[in-house]
Amino acid sequence: MTASHDIDHTHDPALRSWVASANTPDTDFPIQNLPLGMFRRAGTTGSFRPATAIGDQVLDLIGAAELGVLSDALGAVLRTCEGMGLNPLMSVGPDFRRQLRHELVAALNADAGPTSSQTLAPALTPLADVELTLPCRISDYTDFYTGIHHATTVGKLFRPDNPLLPNYKWVPIGYHGRASSIGVSGQTFRRPVGQTKAPDAETPSFGPCKRLDYELEVGALVGTGNESGQPIAIGDAERHLFGLVLLNDWSARDMQAWEYQPLGPFLAKSFATTISPWVVTMEALAPFRRAFTRPDGDPRPLPYLDSPANREQGAIAVQLEVHLQTRAMRDAGEAPTKLMCSDFAESYWTVAQMLTHHASNGCNMQPGDLFGSGTQSGPTPEQGGSLLELTQGGKQAITLPNGEQRTFLQDGDSVALVGRCEAPGRRSIGFGPCIGTVAPAVTG
Contact 294, 16 (CB under 8 A): no
Q: What confidence tens digit (pLDDT) does each residue in 358-368 have?
A: 999 999 999 99
Confirm or reject CATH 3.40.47.10 for domain 141-439, answering yes or no: no
What is the CB-side half-sphere exposure of residue 113 using CA atoms within 13 A?
1
For domain 9-132, the CATH class is mainly beta
Q: What confidence tens digit (pLDDT) does each residue in 384-441 have?
A: 999 999 999 999 999 999 999 999 999 999 999 999 999 999 999 999 999 999 999 9
Domain boundaries, the chain: 9-132, 141-439
Tell whether residue 256 is among the known ligand binding residues. yes
Tell whether residue 230 is among the known ligand binding residues. no
pLDDT mean over 105-128: 94
Tell whether residue 161 is among the known ligand binding residues. no
Contact 292, 310 (CB under 8 A): yes
Q: What confidence tens digit (pLDDT) does each residue in 134-146 have?
A: 999 999 999 999 9
When pLDDT is cut at 50, 70 and 90, the band that residue 171 belongs to is very high
Tell whether residue 10 is among the known ligand binding residues. no
pLDDT the model gives residue 1: 45
pLDDT the model gives residue 112: 87
Put simply, whether the predicted model's pTM sits higher than 0.95 gets the answer yes
Cite the active site residues: 150
The span from the CA of 127 to the CA of 108, in Å, is 17
Residue 151, exposed/middle/buried by CB under 10 A (0-12, 13-18, 19+)? Answer: buried
Tell whether residue 274 is among the known ligand binding residues. no
Domains 9-132 and 141-439 share a fold: no
Tell whether residue 375 is among the known ligand binding residues. yes
pLDDT at residue 296 tops 60:
yes
pLDDT mean over 267-293: 98
